[in-house]
Chains A and B, each alone.
Chain A
């Protein structure tokens, strides 16, 4: 079974630039998550989708972050403009449905200089 796919694996940008990350969940998984993991901390939820609808985006900094999941399959997360404090690993995860196990992608390591 293919896992959660993410790209790119690494990204280096300067502050105030924009960046986009892509995620393709495990086939058939209705729920998709974006997490931010700062070095030495646990994953922090940014946004949760159920199919193509947003379930929770309460911790998404909406002035600079946006995410979409058109057609309820793959998803993109965008940061515009980036700040130094956005340097982190951005993890995408998916689950089959409510109460099911969460599977992570390999993440995108973002460095903002």
Chain B
């Protein structure tokens, strides 16, 4: 089955700086890569996603890049704000809609 690795496990940045979270996957059949934000005690919320036919996608301060050859994808958050503090999960999904999640990155934005 698919194996998704995520780094770093914790990340602290100053407000206004950028944050980058990286994930790798093992199954070349994976073709959909969403990112979820989970605040304490709440459900994971989809914040951005990318499909395998696209190399980069941006939505305001959030962007995701995908390198299919190297089997890795990254989340970039620019101009970080305290409300960006949360746990972020990457995931990889295949054509059978089976989603496999990374272990999460706890992001802290220091005001």
Contacts and interface: CB of A to CB of B under 8 A. Distances in A.
| A-B interaction | yes
Contacts, number: 59
Interface string A75-113: 000000000000000010101011111111111000000
A95 B95 CA distance: 13
B100 A106 contact: no
Interface residues of A, number: 27
A45 B100 contact: yes
22 contacts: A35-B101, A41-B103, A41-B104, A42-B4, A42-B6, A42-B102, A42-B104, A43-B89, A45-B99, A48-B98, A55-B97, A95-B97, A99-B32, A99-B93, A101-B34, A101-B49, A104-B36, A104-B43, A104-B45, A106-B42, A106-B43, A107-B43
Interface of A: 31, 33, 35, 40-45, 48, 55-56, 58, 91, 93, 95, 97-107
